[in-house]
Structure 1
Amino acid sequence: MSVETDKAIARKGQSVALVIAVTMVLWIVAQWAGPALGLPGRYALLFDFAALAALFWALVVIYQIWQARRAAKASE
């Protein structure tokens, strides 16, 4: 793999890690703050769906990283 390919894959990996970490922190805070603020249950469901969407995006990008590594390794 070239250095630029490695850097691009590393940047994607870092962004995925950041999205997963921030999503989980925000989701935990939302699950705690919802009842504390007296929000209806539908807001909890909204936060759940937002977290699932972010984690699905992360899964797609992880798959792209995996494919890019396989393609780079095959081209060596």
Structure 2
Amino acid sequence: MAGERDSAIARKGRQIAVVIAATMVLWLAANALGPMLGLPGRYALLFDLAAIAGFIYALVNILQLWRMRQDQNRG
């Protein structure tokens, strides 16, 4: 039982790391390619909002991970 919980915590941590890294890389790429492709400035706002959504998703998952670890330490 404890092994399953540990692996679930590790899996969630890796998922969070991938989401944060992918969000940052995609946001940087979009901001670099946007002007090169001649996209209007409103697309930059769209890219920013998508990045914010990715980071909020990661933050929610970080809080869930923290709760999982707290529950594991208590019981």
Give the structure-2-normalised TM-score: 0.96
* Aligned counterparts, 1:1-76, within 5 A: 2-75=2-75
What is the number of residues matched between the two proteins?
Answer: 75
Structure 2 residue identity aligned to 1:71:
D
Offset of 1:28 from its aligned partner?
A: 0.4
Q: Following the alignment from structure 1 to structure 2, what is the Cα–Cα distance between the partners of residues 65 and 19?
A: 14
Percent identical among aligned pairs is 57
Cα distance per residue 1:34-74 (max 9 Å; x no partner):
01111001100000000000000000000000001001110
Q: Which runs of 5+ in 1 are unaligned?
A: none
Q: Following the alignment from structure 1 to structure 2, what is the Cα–Cα distance between the partners of residues 63 and 57?
A: 10
Give the structure-1-normalised TM-score: 0.95
